[in-house]
Amino acid sequence: MATVTSTRVLGSWLCRFSNGVSLKPSSSFTYQSALLFRGKLSSCSHYSTYGKWVPASQIQSCNSARKIRTFAPLCMGRRSCKIAGRKTAQDAKKGKLCSKIGKQVVSAVKRGGTNPVSNPALAALFEKAKELDVPKEIVERNIKRALEKGQETYTEKIYEIYGFGGAGVIVEVSTDNTNRSIQAIRGVIKDHGGKMADSGSLLFKFKRARVANIKVTDVDKDELLTVALDAGAEDVIEPPMLDDDSEEDISER
C-alpha cells in the first residue's frame, strides 16, 4: 500500500514538474533561457507543495558560460605581396651585381695593383661601381681580399652556345675554377636542349655594347629617340609593363 502511495505521489510530482519544462530537445542551449528548480530536496511531497520556478539569470553565480571568438587571419593584401616579391627580386639582383663587381676588382688588382692611377682597369671599376650604386665598402673589401695569400685570380672565359631553335648565345664567365664553371654551364645547356658551339662559330655575329639606363617622366618618346640616335645610340627600349601593374606601381618606377 505504501508503495502504491509513494508511486502516486511521485507521478503527481512528475506531472507538475513537466508542466514547466518542454520535453522537446533544444537545438541551441543558452543559460538565459533555461529554468532551474529551487527547493529543498527532503521529499517528493515538498516539491509538489513548495516548488517554485525562477529564471536562471538570478543564479548566474552558480553557472557561467565562457565565450570563445575566432577571427580570420590577417592578410597583407595584393599590393603588399607584390611589393614584397619585387623587393626580394631586387635584392637578389643587387647581390649578384655586387658579387660580379667584387670578382672584377680582385682580378684587376691581381693584374695591375691597388693604385687606380697606374691601374686603368681598377679606375674604370671604381667609376662603374659608382654608376651602378655599388657600396664603396664592397670595392675596398675585395681589394683587401685580392692581397690575401691563397686568393686565386679570377679569369674571364667566353663560351659560345646554340640555344633552342639554333639561336646563338654568348656566355661570359668570371671564375677562379674553370672546370667547375664549364660543368655548371653544360648542366644548364643539357636541361634546356642546347649544345656547345665551336670557338669562333658565333662570336663574330655579336658586338659589345653599353647600356645606359635613364629615368625620365613626362617626356615625348619621339623626341627622346631623336636625341639618343643623334648621340650615337642604336635603339631606345622602354621598360616592359606587366599586366598586373597598377598606375601607382608604374609611378614608383
Q: Exposed, middle or buried, 200 (CB in 10 Å: 0-12/13-18/19+)?
A: exposed
* Average of per-residue pLDDT across 87-99: 85
151 vs 35 pLDDT, higher one: 151
**pTM for this prediction:** 0.47
Instruction: Report pLDDT digits (tens) over 12-48.
Output: 655 554 444 444 444 444 444 444 444 444 444 444 4
Residues 251, 253: Cα–Cα separation, whole Å: 6
Predicted pLDDT at 24 = 46
Return the domain boundaries, the chain.
7-18+31-61, 82-153
Query: According to the CATH classification, is domain 82-153 in 3.40.50.280?
Result: no
Percent of the chain scoring above 90 in pLDDT: 6
* Average of per-residue pLDDT across 136-161: 85
5 vs 175 pLDDT, higher one: 175
**45: Cβ–Cβ under 8 A, 6 or more apart, which residues?**
9, 13
Instruction: Report pLDDT digits (tens) over 226-239.
Output: 888 888 888 888 77
Instruction: Provide the 8-state DSSP code for 155.
Output: E
